[in-house]
Amino acid sequence: MKQQLLDTVSINYDPRVELIGAASYFHAQGWMLGTAGNLSAKMPDGSFWITGSGKSKGKLSQEDFVRVYPDGSIQAPLEESVKPSAETSIHSSIYELFADAQACYHVHSVDANLVSNFIKGDEIPLPPLEMIKGLGIWEENPNCVMPLFDNHLKVPQIASDIKTRFLAQKPQIPALLIRNHGVTVWANSLETARNYIEITEFVFRYMVAARKAGI
């Protein structure tokens, strides 16, 4: 009976309400203005719900999401005109690379874009802040970096770059930055992914303020 109940819960699981709440919150912070950014959550069958392309993140409804299946097929709740986010290939790559990932969040912020231009290399050294613990680095004065990727108009090229690099070397933290674009995080729950976005944006804000202050 207990197993039947768990199976029923899995079948009926719908993360879209929580995704809408996260998008509304991020929009209020100025991280998902207009139609920028995209959020997704994985389902028990390996598919995932993702925000539709061109949808305002401050006023999403459940009909503004598309369900993407492992074979590439999609399901739109009501409107056939609703297309999956242009960055769906990045989410697909993250779920393929990290089996325990249940959510993948991507936002755009001014601070993230500024930080992405601090160096010319392919990784950003992060300051040894206490907040880094929230990303899973439990060390005193951690030596931590965030992977940095070049932006491309054709998003599948970004996804390919991510997959190639992460197959060769796993990142220290569940986050990456795309130059002049934004941060992407992944986590084993929607709540944790939301926390990761808040932490990374705090770190970016600190880095911008520290540079301005000459620290």
CB-based contacts of 10, cutoff 8 Å, min separation 6: 44
Summarize the confidence of residues 104-110 as an average pLDDT: 98
Strands 144-149 and 48-51: unpaired
Q: In what order do the strands lie in the sheet with 65-68?
A: 74-75, 65-68, 48-51, 38-42, 103-107, 182-187, 175-178, 144-149, 123-126
Q: What is the pLDDT of residues 171-214, one digit of tens each?
A: 999 999 999 999 999 999 999 999 999 999 999 999 999 999 98
Q: What is the pLDDT of residues 13-30, one digit of tens each?
A: 899 999 999 999 999 999
User: Residue 4 has what pLDDT?
Assistant: 41
Cβ–Cβ under 8 Å, residues 73 and 47: no
Does position 106 have pLDDT exceeding 80, yes or no? Answer: yes
Q: What does the buried/exposed string (b/e) look like for 131-155 if buried means 16 or more CB atoms within 10 Å of the residue's CB? A: ebebbeeeeeebebebbbbeeeeeb
User: Residue 79 has what pLDDT?
Assistant: 58
Q: Which residues are annotated as a binding site?
A: 106, 108
CB-based contacts of 72, cutoff 8 Å, min separation 6: none
Q: Which residues are annotated as a binding site for Zn(2+)?
A: 106, 108
Cβ–Cβ under 8 Å, residues 23 and 193: no
Nearest CA to 180 among 144, 145, 153? 153
CA distance 138 to 105: 23
In angstroms, the Cα distances linking 171 to 20, 59, 111, 167, 177 are: 28, 33, 21, 10, 12
Work out the end-to-end distance of the chain between its first and last CA atoms, rounded to an integer number of angstroms.
60
CB count in 10 Å sphere of residue 23? 25
Q: What is the pLDDT of residues 58-84, one digit of tens each?
A: 999 999 999 999 988 888 766 566 888
For residues 4 and 154, which has the higher predicted lDDT (pLDDT)? 154
CA distance 202 to 116: 15
Summarize the confidence of residues 30-38 as an average pLDDT: 95
- Split into its structural domains, the chain has a count of 1
CATH of the domain at 71: 3.40.225.10
Cβ–Cβ under 8 Å, residues 91 and 48: yes
What residues make up the domain containing 188?
A: 2-213
User: Residue 5 has what pLDDT?
Assistant: 36
